[in-house]
Structure 1
Amino acid sequence: MSFGFAPRKIGKADLQLTERDLNDAAEARQGWKPNTWTLDQAARVLLLMSLPAEDDAAYFATVEKLFQTAEIREQICLYQALQLLPHQELFDDRLSEGIRTNIKTVFESIAHHNPLPMELMTEHAWNQMILKALFIGAALDPIEGIDQRVNPELARMLIDFAHERRAATRPIPVELWRVAAPFADEIALEDMKALYASGEQLEQSAIALALVATASDEADVILKTNPEIAKRAESGEITWHAIAEAAY
């Protein structure tokens, strides 16, 4: 009952957090970034954290019941709260189920600024989350572990996806190259070379940044075809955060 009434009691205003508050949050829980949280969300998380947790099965059942009856705003709160709750390992299936949602804000509550997907998801579930993010237009940069969990299978799927879209003259999400480039094959390098030569500036910047990170001979050859953008990528002037901000 208290969980549902939180917005009425204390409102939905954004939390006014200082830089010190955010640093304290990061120290308390690696990857925790409550800068987008609201008052009612913080209150609900506090209620969840105050539940008796000695019996892991009972605790899981209580939280799972809340998920099953939650409206959208409550779902967002619950998914963002999981990173702070006890018995987090019990919620791996809940995360995998959650990323199937077609509601972008709910998806982003799982994928963005949340260390649990990086820590708990299987490679298959992780790859599905990255693909879903690209399909629904959710940024990759706020995903914790986006670079640490790159893998050949994910890169293969993204390379195929990018090649098909280029062949159909359809736009390719610029952040895709961040994840695909570490395992770029001949097809991917040809696509990147063509887009680096004739694509829009944001696309060229993303490809340059991705190629710089690969540090391969093939990447160096492509980068030399546009040395000005390559220099900006190498110097750190171009960042994935800035690319994501411009793309979305």
Structure 2
Amino acid sequence: MLKSREELDADLDDAARAWLDEALAEAAHDAAARATVRADDAVNSPYASPPWELRYAAAGRHCGTAHADSVRSLLLIEARAPLAAVTRLYEQGTAAERRAVLLTLHRLDLGSTALPLVEDALRANDTRLVAAAVGPYAAARLDPHAWRHAVLKCLFTGVPVEAVARLGERARGDAELARMLRDFAAERTAAGRDVPAGLHTVLGLALTSPAAPTEES
């Protein structure tokens, strides 16, 4: 669960708060500087890293690993991080740094341009990345085919289906998802392996008729 700035201020010691103040100021400065540059003059070199990106990597060391996700998320938001920066931090980062990117995508103005990062995380076997990848951004941006496979990836890797944002909304009445779940369950059973409990939860949703539209809708 990501913490707000106010919650972090209550948890961090004086040194960590001072470091965070400086880091967020650097991020805000970068956002303001980019806002004054015309789009056709913008430099998106993958090697042009502003100071706040170095802070992003050091968040755990200065604010504690328990708060690193929240600190990194705040930096991305304060910097209004563009796709070039988000991609750079993801591709060059540790698993923890990648997770923070994934957790923040829905709060950045990136449209569907960051979907390759979600797709990359869903190809991984790191359950922390898979769980972060199926958050609100994926719920809003993944097409039905990719989203169904993301749900199956959770089941296959042991990520709780509760991690899937808007699961009830997107799974409800999805006949193709129901078919895929049945096939997956049959394969597990044939191999003498347990069927994940979460599968029955999702299957129940997929077999439920979509809600009838109201007059207002």
Question: How high is the TM-score relative to the length of structure 2?
Answer: 0.64
- Structure 2 unaligned runs (5+)? 1-53, 210-217
CA contact (8 A) 2:168 2:205 kept: no
- Structure 1 residue 50, shift from structure 2 partner: 2.3
State whether structure 2 residue 79 is matched by structure 1 residue 51: yes
* Structure 1 residue 72, shift from structure 2 partner: 1.0
8 Å Cα contact 1:60/1:90 also seen in 2: yes
Tell whether the 8 Å contact from 1:96 to 1:121 is kept in structure 2 after alignment.
Answer: no
Q: CA deviation at 1:52?
A: 5.2
**Residue number in structure 2 paired with 1:109:** 132
Task: Give the count of matched residue pairs.
Answer: 154
Distance 1:99 1:71, change over 3 A: same
1:143 aligns with 2:143: no
Partner residue of 1:224?
Answer: none
Q: Secondary structure at the residue paired with 1:102?
A: coil
**Structure 1 unaligned regions, length at least 5:** 14-37, 54-58, 185-212, 215-248
SS at match of 1:129: helix
- 1:2 pairs with 2:52: no
Is the CA contact 2:91–2:98 (under 8 Å) kept in the aligned structure 1? Answer: no
The structure whose RCO (Cα within 8 Å, separation 6+) is larger is: 2
1:8 positional shift: 1.8
- Distance apart, 1:12 and its partner CA: 2.1
2:200 pairs with 177, 187, 190, which one? 177
Q: In the TM superposition, what whole-angstrom CA distance separates every residue of 1:169-192 from its partner, at most 9, and x where no partner exists?
A: 4321122122223555xxxxxxxx
Which residue is equivalent to 1:129?
Answer: 150
Pairing partner for 1:165 from 185, 188, 192:
188
Does the 8 A contact of 1:165 with 1:172 survive in 2?
yes
Q: Stretches of 4+ moved more than 6 A in 1? A: none
RMSD: 2.0
**1:23-82 residue CA offsets vs partner (Å, 9 max, x unmatched):** xxxxxxxxxxxxxxx2x22222222122256xxxxx111111111101111011111111
Partner letter of residue 118 of structure 1? A
Q: Note the 1:213-228 alignment, pairs <5 A.
A: none
Contact in 1 for aligned 2:80/2:109 (Cα 8 Å): no
